[in-house]
Amino acid sequence: MSRRAKIIASGSYAPARILKNEWFNERLGEDVDTWLRENLTIHERRWMEEGETTSDLCVKAGNNALEMAGLNPEDIDLLIIATDTPDFISPSTASVVQYKMGLKNATSLDTNTACAGFPTAFTLANSMMVAEERYQKVMVMGAYGMSRFLNLDDKKTVTLFADGAGAVILEPTEEAGVGFLSSDLRTKGEYHGHMGIYTGAAADPVTEEKVAEKMQCLQFVEKFPKELNPKMWSDMIRTVCERAGEDVADVKHVFITQININQIWETMDILNLPRETAPTIMEKFGYTGSAAIPMVFDREYRKGSVEKGDLAVFIGSGGGLHFAACAYRF
């Protein structure tokens, strides 16, 4: 029997500061609340307080997971953080979190595939656990501090994005049919210029003029084809199930990126799965990017919705464009 990663605990955290849609009505001078509620089901979201950082969100989510697992910080031997809103360009956010949490025995690294980051990092963690027996307790996080990169006057972005972090702790298992089953990672690089934070790194360094024009903020440059996500998500869910030797009809949970409720529902409809197979949290947390998948998973896991034997898929997509999916059996 092959060694694979098994989830033993989860945790999540969202900042205390709540911004309701009405705040944006006042900020932007128009009614955005109605559209957000009717089209995205977003009523409110959480943003970091001044002085709070992406790594701080990670620490709180990670500590929640440690508490659930009954582990100490020194028990973790590998930390992988998926984020495209790091504390710094360099060093890694994972090194900051490793220090803040006291994970003194853990090596660490960041991975950036934007909002596809968590299933990408989960796949990487599984591969490292399979290859190296010394990795016995691995923490995987998805973290998002996008409020730091928003233009408060840009209606296309400022109302959608929010902050949060989610974490899982993994250990190896050789139990047949349990744990990480398969993955599918894809990139459609032709869309890399459609959305991103394009100023502030080597290709376009920050200048005073660019800061004045808010060029260092997240930008939607060009619309993505609206059919792209449902088409890719449904195909990738079929693919990971086929690779795992499972039937799509048996999928009990789809923990999916929380960007668009209609695209989520369309994906479930394409696969003939009940819409409630894909639970959502965007109603109260907005779009939390790399953190959305582990955050929605943590909520469902803690309330007992996930049962032993359930087949699940973790799936997301994000700037790049990156797509990532994992099949998993509890």
The DSSP-derived string for 133-177 is TT--SEEEEEEEEGGGG--TT-HHHHTTB-EEEEEEEEEEE--TT
188 vs 321: CA distance, rounded Å: 5
pLDDT tens digits along 196-225: 899 888 888 888 888 877 888 888 888 888
Question: What DSSP designation does 99 have?
Answer: H
> What span, in angstroms and rounded, lies between the C-alpha atoms of 258 and 40?
9
Q: Are 61 and 165 in contact (CB under 8 A)?
A: yes
The pLDDT value given to residue 210: 80
d(CA 151, CA 213): 10
Tell me what pLDDT residue 212 has.
77
pLDDT score recorded for residue 315 = 98
pLDDT of res. 199: 86
The sign of the CA dihedral 40, 45, 51, 55 is negative
Report DSSP state, residue 75: G
Distance CA 309, CA 107 (A): 32
pLDDT of residue 136: 97
Question: Residue 294: is it exposed, middle or buried by C-beta count within 10 angstroms (0-12/13-18/19+)?
Answer: buried
Neighbour count for residue 163 (Cβ, 10 Å): 30
Structural domains of the chain in order of their starting residue, each with its CATH number: 4-173 (3.40.47.10), 179-329 (3.40.47.10)
Q: What is the end-to-end Cα distance of the chain in Å, rounded?
A: 17
Residues of the chain with pLDDT under 70: 1
pLDDT of residue 208: 81
Q: What is the pLDDT of residue 11?
A: 98
